[in-house]
């Protein structure tokens, strides 16, 4: 029992020091929030979040697992965001929905959530500055790609700034990963580990898609997560959605957009965002 009491005393001392350090960190976060608000900078910085979490996971020598480090710091960062500003995150309701759980996995418990009935409402609240960011579904193993999200991205000036993988269990008790996008008004700076979502508008005719994708092959740019939607009623065009490895700035440097513009009727960048961590997929 003496050993147990001694170990508990040691944990109490560590906890006391942790609380002191967390409050010290929070004071610095408040100063950062003041600067961001003064200079009109976005409160949420996905590229900074990604760099911090990757660095912490690399520095950790255990026994905490990487996903535990991420979960702990998700709440620490959430508390810091709430001190910087009254942060509001829009997502599909009700409380406890998959979209809400995905949003909490990214933004934690200290921010405010707005529960909405459809994807268009989420985009509207972010566009009107009623919400700082929105969380919308994009890939669901049971139901496929969320077409309503693709339609909104095609029409909106909002951009994808982060992605979230959420482990879900279906009716057969099989566990799979659903994917969600975080949408906002600002384009992220490079994190060093990014991908970019593009919309390619092409004519619906034989060979058009092969021609549109040729620059990716020529420039050795990896693609993932393909999807397509008809551009509009009465149009023969198709919106083709792809995710390319690299940040927008990387893709501009290799002249990808110039080459795509020769083969597509239109090219739209839907956002650059950090790739999902290996523990999230």
Residue range 236-268, pLDDT digits in tens: 899 999 999 999 988 887 889 999 999 999 999
Tell me which of 2.60.120.10, 3.10.150.10, 3.40.190.10, 3.40.50.460 is the CATH number of domain 45-189.
3.40.190.10
Q: Phi, psi at residue 45, to the nearest 5°?
A: -120, 90
Q: What gap in Å lies between CA 230 and CA 222, rounded to an integer?
A: 24
Q: Where are the domains of the chain?
A: 45-189, 194-274
Question: How far does the chain reach from its first CA to its final CA, in angstroms?
Answer: 43
pLDDT of residue 10: 94
Q: Is-contact 85 132, C-beta < 8 A? A: yes
Superfamily of domain 194-274 in the CATH hierarchy:
ACT domain (3.30.70.260)
In percent, the amount of the chain with pLDDT more than 90 equals 62
CA-based radius of gyration for the chain: 21
Task: Give the DSSP H or E segment for 48.
Answer: helix 46-59
The band of 275, judged by pLDDT with boundaries at 50, 70 and 90, is: confident
Query: 159-182: per-residue pLDDT in tens?
Result: 999 999 888 766 666 667 889 999
The band of 225, judged by pLDDT with boundaries at 50, 70 and 90, is: confident
Q: What gap in Å lies between CA 185 and CA 144, rounded to an integer?
A: 26
């Amino acid at each position: 029992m003496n050993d147990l009491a001694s170990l508990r005393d040691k944990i109490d001392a560590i906890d006391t020091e942790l609380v002191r350090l967390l409050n010290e960190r929070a004071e610095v976060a408040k100063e950062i929030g003041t600067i961001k608000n003064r200079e009109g900078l976005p409160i949420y910085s996905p590229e900074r979040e990604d760099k911090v979490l990757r660095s912490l996971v690399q520095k950790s020598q255990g026994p905490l697992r990487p996903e535990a480090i991420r979960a702990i710091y998700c709440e620490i960062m959430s508390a810091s965001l709430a001190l910087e500003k009254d942060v509001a995150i829009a997502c599909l309701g009700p409380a406890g929905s998959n979209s809400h759980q995905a949003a909490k996995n990214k933004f934690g418990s200290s921010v405010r959530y707005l529960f909405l009935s459809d994807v268009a409402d989420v985009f509207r609240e972010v566009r009107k500055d009623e919400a700082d960011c929105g969380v919308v579904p994009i890939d669901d193993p049971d139901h496929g790609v969320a077409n309503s999200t693709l339609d909104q991205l095609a029409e909106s000036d909002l951009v994808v700034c982060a992605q979230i993988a959420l482990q879900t269990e279906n009716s057969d008790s099989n566990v799979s990963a659903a994917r969600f996008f975080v949408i906002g008004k600002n384009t992220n700076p490079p994190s060093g580990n990014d991908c970019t979502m593009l919309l390619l508008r092409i004519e619906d005719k034989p060979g058009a898609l092969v021609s549109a994708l040729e620059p990716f092959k020529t420039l050795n740019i990896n693609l993932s997560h393909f999807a397509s939607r008809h551009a509009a009623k009465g149009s023969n065009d198709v919106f083709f959605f792809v995710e390319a490895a690299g940040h927008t700035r990387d893709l501009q440097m290799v002249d990808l957009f110039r080459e795509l513009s020769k083969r597509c009727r239109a090219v739209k960048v839907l956002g650059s965002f950090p790739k999902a961590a290996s523990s999230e997929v």
